[in-house]
Structure 1
Amino acid sequence: MPYRPKGSRFWHYDFQIRGRRFHGSCGTEDFEEAKAVEAAARVKAKHAPQITGRFTLSEAFGTYYSDVCAHQPSARTAMSHFRSVLGVIDGKTHLDALKQSDLTRFRSVRRWHVSGATINRTLQAMGRALRYMEKHHGAKLAELDFKAVKLAEPKERVRSLTLAEQGRLFEKLRPDLLPLVKFALMTGARQASICNLRWRDIDHDAARMTLQMKTDSKTEAKTMAFPMSREIKALIGALPRAEHPPHRDYVFTFEVQNRKKPERRRIIQNSTAFEHFAAAVNAAGIEDFRFHDLRHTFATRMLRQTQNLKLVSRLLGHSEITTTSRYAHVLDDDLASALDGFSALQNDESRRFSRRQKKSADNS
């Protein structure tokens, strides 16, 4: 029955269906009208997706985005994936009415516009959203085989930044993004780890910082202690700090321009910071380079300097050294260079004679 809360002019309803609470204002002072409003609300509630488990694709994406993606550095990417799906599959389609042919059609349409890897990432995001709705909201799902529509991908490339490219990039970057890029080159940390780094994670006395590591949805969050070199400590010590919470809690912030709000430095999550990074890469004339390639650059340079694959594996936070083996070509290149200056068939006298001949030829 409707009730009137203390201090309110209007009647309200408050009831439960299958353990879910529905409540609100009837919007009227008349008790009989309030009963009619409550009755209509009950009928509507019985057919609500939360009760029937019949969510549409748009409802699933919207719920998953607000519950999970909105607070992640990859929020804009997730939104792009969902929009891509809804551009091919009708958002009003109920999850239990989706067909395998819908996935096949999406793959066929998008193959003309994006790479196979992008299509796979989009389908993976869709699969995560659907499984989340099933687990946390009781959604009814159709039987879909996402693996069956997965496209073959080329072996992951390792693209590293040359020193010449680095110089051009630094010239084109906005000043407030330069520390972010330098930190990535100094640590090899992933984009999400950098965006989530907070001042409480920095221990200047122990010269250590705590980085959040990459995990999947089924694994608890992991962290790793990363040593802070003098170069890293100097960079962090010079960083400006945002004034207001929650932005002031984060180490790396982004200066938002043309805003009327007094807080100009804001967290990088959900900002246009990485769009500005991509624009700087293009302005510097650097081809086929993404922010994640800064991690590849760190690994390549560290391996070339230390010649220690296991050490690089630990710094990257890889659980298996086989993951780090993609950088082994660096050692192969260095070994080849070393062999170029080595001869197993010449004795010392022969080598001295060869050097004298070369010197004589150069002088002539």
Structure 2
Amino acid sequence: MPVYRKHGKPEYTYDFKLRGGRFSGPTGTSNKRQAERILEQKRQEALDKLKTAASFTAEGPMTLEIAASRYWLEVGQHLANSVNYYRFIGWILDHFGKHITLDQITDSMIAAMVSRRRGDGVSNATVNRTAAVPLRGIMTRAKKTWKVPVGDIDWSRHLLKEPKERVREASQDEERRLLNAMRDDYAPAVSFALLTGCRRMEIVDLTWSRVDFFGRTITVTGKGDKTRILPMTEAVHALLWVLKGHHPTSVFTYVARRTNKRRKLVRGARYPITMEGFKTAWRRYRDKSGVENFRFHDTRHTAATRTLRTGNMKIVQRMLGHEDIATTAKYAHAMIEDMRVAMEAANHTGSHTGAGEDASTDLKDKKKSA
């Protein structure tokens, strides 16, 4: 019987089978007609769930809604910027509609999407990051991993050209001014960034369990929860050794300047630095240093450029945790500039080809005398 009363209980219970599965539970009512209506509601809900589950693994046309949901579960929620990615996917769904299938999406429709996003007055990089790239990720995974029909899209026509990321290196004088202006409790974190090229998030999250003084290594967790191991140089060792004992778990800490009961802070005690606190300290004391046009991410550029001068591109790739060496290639300017300096020096140490007009005139005179 689909609805029934258990012994001694006034409320009805529903119980039914659907596609080999059994569904049962309380209806929350002692009225049989209401219980039967709830039964039909539960049956429809179960049918919808089964349809959704089947569409997740179906090999036929897949709706954008199902594809976006599956992509979020398998990929999106695990990204470092998952909160933003969820919003990007939502915008794409609103633009195309939930029920369009992936094989119906054409180049023309994607071009219209890109045009609409550009109309919001955002940069080319933002258009790519918030619209074209997420949709490409969904459709590529659907085609290659889920094996469902997808429109033949030429993504090279839709990804907008972006300006090359600048590479800003701090001079020795700028580094000194930055560290001198920084608060004593935040200065070690900035020094660590300049020495290792670690991102702010990697610095904030670093714990003593990931620092191996004996093996001289540091394990950091970067984007997408991917870990990499960095060697501990003498400078990094000296920096971290001084910080031992400041806190039982966190490597980088700050000293509370005042007691705050609401935030449970006691003046003079040390607490793990936070992302927001680090951002505030960086902006305030960087401005105080007088160093201009220098972002925190430029500490990463500085470390990479300096390392490249004495190493090679593969070393810098591993240090920064880049999956693709093409991402690291933007630091090649350091090698080119050093090569230029070396060539200039060579051209001024006895080379006839670099001696200017005097060498040219001398060469002509020799030809005449011959």
Residues 45 and 51 in structure 1, CA contact (< 8 A), matched pair in contact too: no
* One of 319, 323, 336 as aligned partner of 1:315: 319
**C-alpha deviation, 1:299, in angstroms:** 0.9
Q: Deviations over 1:278-297 (max 9, x none)?
A: 85599578777655443222
Q: Deviations over 1:85-136 (max 9, x none)?
A: 46x726x533527744543233113325222222222222244356678999
Residues 11 and 25 in structure 1, CA contact (< 8 A), matched pair in contact too: yes
- Whether 1:114 aligns to 2:114 is no
**C-alpha deviation, 1:234, in angstroms:** 4.6
Residues 139 and 150 in structure 2, CA contact (< 8 A), matched pair in contact too: no
Once residues 253 and 263 of structure 2 are traced to their aligned partners in structure 1, the CA distance between those partners, rounded to angstroms, is 16
Residues 64 and 101 in structure 2, CA contact (< 8 A), matched pair in contact too: no
Is the alpha carbon distance of 1:99 and 1:67 closer, same or farther for their aligned partners in structure 2, counting shifts above 3 Å? Answer: closer
Q: Deviations over 1:140-161 (max 9, x none)?
A: 8863737142223344443334
Is the alpha carbon distance of 1:320 and 1:53 closer, same or farther for their aligned partners in structure 2, counting shifts above 3 Å? Answer: closer
Once residues 188 and 275 of structure 1 are traced to their aligned partners in structure 2, the CA distance between those partners, rounded to angstroms, is 17
| Corresponding residue for residue 206 of structure 1 | 215
> What amino acid does structure 2 have at the position aligned with 1:81?
F
| Corresponding residue for residue 303 of structure 2 | 298
Is the alpha carbon distance of 1:252 and 1:7 closer, same or farther for their aligned partners in structure 2, counting shifts above 3 Å? Answer: farther
Is the alpha carbon distance of 1:231 and 1:26 closer, same or farther for their aligned partners in structure 2, counting shifts above 3 Å? Answer: farther
TM-score (norm 2): 0.62
Residues 95 and 142 in structure 1, CA contact (< 8 A), matched pair in contact too: no
Once residues 29 and 135 of structure 1 are traced to their aligned partners in structure 2, the CA distance between those partners, rounded to angstroms, is 52
- Whether 1:333 aligns to 2:337 is yes
Is the alpha carbon distance of 1:12 and 1:65 closer, same or farther for their aligned partners in structure 2, counting shifts above 3 Å? Answer: farther
How do 1:86-125 residues align onto structure 2 when only pairs under 5 Å count? 89=95, 93-96=98-101, 99-100=105-106, 101-112=108-119, 113-122=121-130, 123-125=132-134
| Corresponding residue for residue 50 of structure 1 | 52
**C-alpha deviation, 1:205, in angstroms:** 1.5
| Corresponding residue for residue 352 of structure 1 | none
Determine helix, strand or coil for the equivalent of 1:50. helix
| Corresponding residue for residue 160 of structure 1 | 169
**Count of aligned pairs between the two proteins:** 332
In structure 2, the gaps of 5 or more residues are 57-61, 353-370
**C-alpha deviation, 1:330, in angstroms:** 1.7
RMSD of aligned C-alpha atoms?
Answer: 5.3
| Corresponding residue for residue 41 of structure 2 | 40
Relative contact order, higher structure (CA 8 A, sep 6+): 1
How do 1:70-89 residues align onto structure 2 when only pairs under 5 Å count? 72-79=79-86, 81-82=88-89, 85=92, 89=95
Residues 96 and 140 in structure 1, CA contact (< 8 A), matched pair in contact too: no
Which has more radius of gyration? 2
In structure 1, the gaps of 5 or more residues are 216-220, 348-364
- Whether 1:229 aligns to 2:237 is no
More deviation, 59-68/189-198: 59-68
Is the alpha carbon distance of 1:115 and 1:322 closer, same or farther for their aligned partners in structure 2, counting shifts above 3 Å? Answer: closer
* One of 130, 142, 151 as aligned partner of 1:143: 151
